[in-house]
A and B are shown apart, each in its own frame.
Chain A
Amino acid sequence: VQLLEFGGGLVQPGGSLRLSCEGSGFMFSNYAMTWVRQAPGKGLEWVAVISGSGDPKYYADSVKGRFTVSRDNPINKVYLQMNSLRAEDTAVYYCVKDWGLDFWGLGTLVTVSS
């Protein structure tokens, strides 16, 4: 099993960024995928989850209405579209396999700063 996140970087407040995560080594479409983030020096925060079929999806209150999770099963990818970014969204974003969070990617750093 492997999860590779892409798309992190520096963005200005109010800007947008799309993270992607490519899974391999498992039947991607059979598994829900979760995003978890960790601000520098802080604890873990659950962000969103999407079922294997793409619906349903659930979000943390802190990102609801600003972030959108989606997936493209034929190419084994899950995405996190992040809009209206704030300084407090600065974190390492982890892509995690399944409802039970049994396997984690290495993460990608998102920095929101002017």
Chain B
Amino acid sequence: DIQMTQSPSSMSASVGDRVTITCRASQGISDSLAWFQQKPGKVPNRLIYAASRLQSGVPSRFSGSGSGTEFTLTINNLQPDDVATYYCLQRKTYPWTFGQGTKVEI
């Protein structure tokens, strides 16, 4: 199985900061990676697919990059509404696997 390792596990930042979350795959997955945001008590919501494609309706301050084994989710100009846990997911090989999550606080 492909292991997905996110870092950091949690972080605290200030409004307006740039936040970077990393996801590393235990083997190459090309660009078969998505990022999800789960606000407290809410349903997960897809932010990014195919590693760098922004989901329709998601603010442009969110961006994704990477290919192969290392991927990054960047949040520019962090807003209070961005408080959430963020997960990566690889869909290259079954079983699909999520990262363990990164909790972002302000």
Contact = CB atoms under 8 A, between A and B. Distances in A.
A, B co-complexed: yes
Contacts of B81: none
Size bracket of the B interface = 20 to 34
Size bracket of the A interface = 10 to 19
Nearest to B43: A104
A94 B46 CA distance: 14
B36 interface: yes
A100 B101 contact: no
Contacts of A46: 89, 95-98
Contacts of A44: 36, 38, 44, 87, 89, 98, 101
B91 interface: yes
Interface stretch (A6-14, A21-29, A57-65, A78-86): A57-65
Contacts of B87: 43-44
A98 B94 CA distance: 15
A45 B87 CA distance: 10
Contacts of B46: 100-102
Given A43-B87, A44-B36, A100-B49, A58 B43 contact: no
A94 B55 contact: no
Interface in B66-90: 85, 87, 89
Contacts of B43: 94, 104-107
19 contacts: A36-B44, A43-B85, A43-B98, A43-B100, A43-B101, A44-B36, A44-B87, A44-B101, A46-B95, A46-B97, A49-B96, A58-B95, A61-B95, A100-B46, A100-B49, A101-B89, A102-B46, A104-B45, A107-B43
Given A44-B87, A106-B43, 17 more contacts: A36-B44, A43-B87, A43-B98, A43-B100, A43-B101, A44-B44, A49-B96, A58-B94, A58-B95, A60-B95, A61-B1, A61-B95, A94-B43, A94-B44, A102-B55, A104-B43, A104-B45
